[in-house]
Structure 1
Amino acid sequence: MAKRRKLVRTSPDRVFAVLADGWTYASWVVGASHIRDVDEGWPATGTRLHHQIGPWPLHISDVTTVESVVPGRMLDLHARVWPLGAATVRLDLEPVEAGTRVTLTYELTAGIAKYIPRRVQAALLGPRSAEMLSRLADIAVRRRVPAVY
């Protein structure tokens, strides 16, 4: 299991707003190359994000499903990239004085990837998770919120 934390200098609501916008995932999820569709109501439990992983023409089309959600606090996902595997991905948002402590927990759970020893998983996924958190933070901090008229 890979677990990474990052302090994001903005509110949990702004970080969660990025998570709640399924169309941003290809911008911060390392390896995601295209978002094909986002279910109505994303990120409600059971909704799906339809994505492609990898470079064209070798990309794999699959889905990520919301397992559970606490708006502004937590998002638990089941991400598939079949036949390579599947993963449980959890993002926890904790308000702190300086902003939000985001914890990303990632575990390969099915397919070929499941047979990779956990220590190796952590070593491989750690740098990827750190980059994902860095990208998520950049979007959450710098994204302009549209004016409501």
Structure 2
Amino acid sequence: MVQVTRTIQAPMDKVFAVLADGWSYAGWVVGASHIRGVDDTWPSVGAGIHHSVGPWPCTIEDTTSVRAIDAPHNIELIARLWPIGSAVVRLELRAIDPTSCEVVMTERAVGGPGRLLPHAFQALMLVPRNRESLSRLADLAEGGYPPSHTH
């Protein structure tokens, strides 16, 4: 299992709002390039985000689904990327104070050839990627997400 942690200068509820919006997935998940659809029941257990991964025109279409959720404290996802495999990704949010929280992101390969890679190699690939994902999540949450609509 690979783990990264980041403090985000936004309330826990606001950070979770980004996670709860499936359409925001490509905005913070490194590698996700396009959201094709989000199930109406997202982020309930079993609901999915239908996304493309990689640069166009070499994209792979797949799905990420919710395995478990306890809003606004955590969400656990099954992220698929066949033929590479699948992984369980867990995001845990812990309030530091009313205006900031800590996010712990863990990932472990559970299917396909990716699960056969040694932990050190998985960490070499996933730690920088997941740090950048949490940085992007922070940018969205700290930058006024969701956008306010005033007329």
The TM-score by the shorter chain falls in which range? over 0.9
Residue aligned with 1:25, SS: helix
- Which whole-Å CA distance do the structure 1 matches of 2:106 and 2:70 have between them? 16
For 1:120, the equivalent position in structure 2 comes to 121
Superposed CA deviations along residues 34-82 of structure 1, whole A, max 9, x for unmatched, are 0000000210111000000011121110100100001111000000011
Task: Give the drift of 1:22.
Answer: 0.5
- Which whole-Å CA distance do the structure 2 matches of 1:148 and 1:30 have between them? 31
TM-score by length of 2: 0.94
- Which whole-Å CA distance do the structure 1 matches of 2:121 and 2:14 have between them? 33
Amino acid at match of 1:129: N
- The runs of 4+ residues in structure 1 deviating greater than 3 Å are none
- Which whole-Å CA distance do the structure 2 matches of 1:121 and 1:101 have between them? 23
Amino acid at match of 1:103: V
- Which whole-Å CA distance do the structure 1 matches of 2:128 and 2:80 have between them? 20
- Spell out the pairing of 1:8-19 with structure 2 (5 A cutoff): 8-19=8-19
Residue aligned with 1:44, SS: coil
The alignment's C-alpha RMSD in Å is 1.4
- Stretches of structure 1 that go unaligned for 5 or more consecutive residues are none
Larger mean CA deviation between 33-42 and 115-124 belongs to 115-124
Residue aligned with 1:57, SS: coil
Amino acid at match of 1:94: R
- Stretches of structure 2 that go unaligned for 5 or more consecutive residues are none
- Which whole-Å CA distance do the structure 1 matches of 2:106 and 2:16 have between them? 16
For 1:83, the equivalent position in structure 2 comes to 83
Equivalent residues of 2:31, 2:53 under 8 A apart: yes
Identity of aligned residues (%): 44
Equivalent residues of 2:14, 2:145 under 8 A apart: no
For 1:41, the equivalent position in structure 2 comes to 41
Task: Give the drift of 1:148.
Answer: 8.1
